[in-house]
Structure 1
Amino acid sequence: MIVPDSPCRKSVRAVALVVLGCLLAACGTTISGQPVASRGPAATTPYVDGGLARLLPDSSQFPSGYPAVVLPNDIASQAASDLDGILPGAQVEPGACIPLAPTAGPVVSVGTDDDTRATLTVELVRTDQPLSKLRDQLQRCGTVRAGLGGTTATITTELDPPPPLDADDTLALRRTVSSESGGAGLTRKMQSLVGQIGDVRINVTYMSYSDGRADAEALDSLFTTALSKVRKG
């Protein structure tokens, strides 16, 4: 007898397909210049902190229309790399733009709009670096090229005014990850709100594959919820 898929299984499968699509988006041409191997969180085995997972928003706290699941640790690590646009073991140019490794995490929850494939992602890590260090890096790394296995993607990042919320520090950014092969459906656009409370960094990102406007209201709401939950501990 065939047992029908549960909503949870369907959600996990949908998230896995989104992650796979992000991985495929790195296809392109060979990087020129002097790339440097990524030594960031994507290239290492993360230390899993059980306390971080308890700080993720519950699925019921995600905005309506984005049924959410908590990702298994291995997929969570891939999803975090997708948010950076840099895959495990990639060659990065400029080398100073390699993402900084966290001290623990990531833990990740993803809500997916099944109609549009747009996602809302909450990523939590522990870090011994202030958010200002990430801000300084992003200001120097407006355009980054990341290659893996003879293929490359271009990552462009722009900083927006930070949201004035209850955190030690916050920043906002818009990011595009595009394949230089020009394949349809392989360019993804992200809008992220990032905050830090103590050693916990909170990244909430809206990601889509279309040129439509981001769901800013849902993004703002989820970021506020995530900050509040971390603040309360």
Structure 2
Amino acid sequence: MLAACGTTVSGHPTAARNPVTPIVSVDGLTKLLPDPSQFPTRYTALVLPADTAKQAADDLNGYLPGAQVDPSACAPETPTAGPVAAVGNDDTTRATLTVVLTRSTQPLSTLRNQLQGCGTVRLGHSGATSVVTTQLDPPPPANADDSLAIKRTVGAENSRTGLTRTMQSLVGQIGDVRINVTYMTSGTASDSEALDALFTTALRKVRKG
């Protein structure tokens, strides 16, 4: 998992979809995660305990708790509940697919606007500086109120090859449940097909409640 303390963000806003508002209870978030058996083939999956789920969510955002964020407005939102998470590992490519669910009172457009305005962000922690670069791609078609597609790299300044993490994330919101599905690797591999499939599965699971 990532341990980062710096960020660069760029992208383009897109219009939100027409909202629908099924709501699930706070206590039901874990039940909305895809089952490990629903992860794409090659990914050995498990549901993470609460403390590890929080670390995983921070890693996917590229942030460490307590890091100095510059600009400070680019710090990630604190969810109203969660996170809960399930992660699948591909032992061949050493890549991961992670599903993180949280509850948020803010629409996904708030995150979109934040990323648009955070061009370059540096995060300092324990004397080190990390840089996260984030790009907004066209959102995927999704059975959700709204969705985002995000490309992100996280690494220390002047990182050597292999020390920078690359992530592709699909993010959706259904009611107050935010769904983040991320493919992460330290190499050059990608698996858009598995990412798309797991995102669809995760949305379907949340939609069913």
> Is the CA contact 1:80–1:123 (under 8 Å) kept in the aligned structure 2?
yes
CA distance in 2, matches of 1:51, 1:218: 25
Structure 1 unaligned regions, length at least 5? 1-18, 29-48
Q: How many residues align structurally?
A: 191
Out of 181, 202, 206, the position equivalent to 1:226 is 202
- Determine if the alignment matches structure 1 residue 59 to structure 2 residue 33: no
Structure 2 unaligned regions, length at least 5? 7-25
Deviations 1:113-169 (A, max 9, x none): 112210000000000000000000011123221110111100010000001111000
CA distance in 2, matches of 1:232, 1:171: 21
Deviations 1:147-194 (A, max 9, x none): 101111000100000011110001101000011252453200000000
Secondary structure (helix, strand or coil) at the match of 2:32 reads coil
Match of 1:42 in 2: none
- Determine if the alignment matches structure 1 residue 174 to structure 2 residue 161: no
CA distance in 2, matches of 1:185, 1:171: 27
- Determine if the alignment matches structure 1 residue 151 to structure 2 residue 137: no
Matches within 5 A, 1:192-211: 192-211=169-188
- Determine if the alignment matches structure 1 residue 187 to structure 2 residue 164: yes
Secondary structure (helix, strand or coil) at the match of 1:108 reads strand
**Structure with more of its chain in strand, by fraction:** 2
How high is the TM-score relative to the length of structure 1? 0.79
Letter matched to residue 221 of structure 1: A
Secondary structure (helix, strand or coil) at the match of 2:94 reads coil
Letter matched to residue 198 of structure 1: G
Matches within 5 A, 1:1-233: 19=1, 22-23=2-3, 26=5, 49-180=26-157, 182-212=159-189, 214-233=190-209
**Structure with more of its chain in helix, by fraction:** 1
Runs (4+) of structure 1 moved beyond 4 Å? none
Secondary structure (helix, strand or coil) at the match of 1:163 reads coil
CA distance in 1, matches of 2:59, 2:50: 14
How high is the TM-score relative to the length of structure 2? 0.88
Match of 2:13 in 1: none
Aligned alpha-carbon RMSD (Å): 1.6
Identity in percent: 66
Secondary structure (helix, strand or coil) at the match of 1:162 reads coil
